Amino acid sequence: MAAPSNALDYATDSQRQSILQMIGKAIGLDLTTISLPAAFSEPTTFLQRMCEACEYWPLLLQADEESELSDALVWVAAFAVAQIAPNVRTRKPFNPTLGETYEFACRDEASGASMRWIGEQVSHHPPTSAAHMEATRGQQAGFTYNEDITVHTSFRGNSVDVRSEGHHTLRLARLGVTCVWGGLQSCIHNVVVGKTWLDHFGTKEIRVQGRPERVRLEFARAERWLGASRAANRYAVTGEVLDGSGAVRWRLQGRWNEAMTATRVDGQVREVWRHTYEALPGNPWGWSRFTEQLNTPQPGILSSDSRNRADRAAMQRGDTAAAETAKKEIEERQRDEQRRRQASGRAHQPLLFKRNPTGTEWLYLGRPDT
């Protein structure tokens, strides 16, 4: 049997008619406001996908080892590109419920460093997820990284336009600098007919607070109708690292689904990142070993952790019917909780994050037991 390539391929025969009817009514709407069948989803949540996007976190440790900020920004840029590499896997994750959390810890064998990531769904409409990541080498601080993402979508019939808003804030401990950047525009093509693929495009600028050094990254937009001669810029990314005087120190080139190289103005060339993705044999969702680890139980996780979702767990077992039933129960509980909050006049208070009172980003408060 051929591997599924679009949304209808994931559905059963009995689901296809209702899906096609829903598609006709959904054109122009934001899909984050629509309950899609569980069969559309792989057994991860958006919080887990945010964590998966940080798989190449050791790049940030490499950045903090550089003595020159311009050189450090090469590694930061590589991390910012590597964050979207998991999107070659196009099946959607489950939407987190309000207050849902996810946490993950791992160790980099090469450097001996440890990383801890924790995130929470802090808003339901619009859907906003916030996360905090930190890495240490023994007692030595490495970096802290905070992000929040609000996703807006518009369904176009056989494609979905995606606008990702938010903040990415990186603090490199040894260099004592803070880097910030934003999101990209995206389009998911062939969600109903054809082979689904995702295009990221636009300009991403990485700035250093209080410093003139910066990175400019350009993500090429692929042609909507791809012939052999038009596919050359698919996934392509180019960029420049500018020093304090505004001069180009490094030129960057690659593809966000494969690798990135950096060329210094003196001609030195280095490959700074390569996507090591390899699908596990027989895995129906195309997971890598790292992705599989995201669903592995870890000690001490909160009861609100994504791993504990009944619909996600049922989907991982291959029981789509049970996943659909559990998903509807979870959504109804969330609606009940919303009605109770509205009746009492109280707003939801996130557990791990709070909105910056002087800005728009979300600030990490710490875990309750720390």
* Cα of 234 vs its chain's centroid, Å: 20
Q: What is the pLDDT of residues 151-206, one digit of tens each?
A: 988 888 788 899 999 999 999 999 999 999 999 999 988 877 778 889 999 999 99
pLDDT at 238: 98
> What domains lie within the chain, and their CATH numbers?
7-364 (2.40.160.120)
Give the residue, 224 or 84, on which the prediction is more confident: 84
Position 310 confidence tier, pLDDT thresholds 50, 70, 90: very high
Q: Distance (Å, rounded) from C-alpha 234 to C-alpha 251? A: 19
Considering the entire predicted model, what is its pTM? Answer: 0.92
pLDDT at 91: 87
DSSP state of 281: T
For tokens 């991390």, name the residue: 79
The yes-or-no verdict on residue 4 having pLDDT over 70 is no
Percentage, residues of the chain above pLDDT 70: 88
Q: What is the pLDDT of residues 317-366, one digit of tens each?
A: 999 999 999 999 999 999 999 999 999 999 999 999 999 998 889 999 99
The yes-or-no verdict on residue 75 having pLDDT over 80 is yes
Position 56 confidence tier, pLDDT thresholds 50, 70, 90: very high
Give the residue, 16 or 310, on which the prediction is more confident: 310
Q: Distance (Å, rounded) from C-alpha 184 to C-alpha 173? A: 27
Q: Distance (Å, rounded) from C-alpha 120 to C-alpha 96? A: 9
Minimum mean pLDDT range among 28-37, 71-80, 97-106, 237-246: 28-37
SS3 assignment, position 76? helix
Phi-psi category of 270—alpha, beta or left, where left has phi over 0 and alpha has psi -120 to 50? beta
The tokens describing 118, both together, are: 């924790």
Give the residue, 30 or 179, on which the prediction is more confident: 179
Q: Distance (Å, rounded) from C-alpha 41 to C-alpha 55? A: 21
**8 Å CB contact between 262 and 240:** no
The yes-or-no verdict on residue 309 having pLDDT over 70 is yes
Rounded mean pLDDT, 143-152: 96
Q: How far is CA 101 from CA 9, 48, 183, 330, in A?
A: 30, 9, 22, 15
Minimum mean pLDDT range among 38-42, 166-170, 256-260: 38-42
Q: 114: which residues sit within 8 A by CB, 6+ positions away?
A: 105, 106, 107, 108, 135, 136, 137
Q: How far is CA 355 from CA 129, 140, 327, 334, in A?
A: 12, 29, 29, 22
pLDDT at 203: 96
SS3 assignment, position 188? strand
The tokens describing 282, both together, are: 């027989």
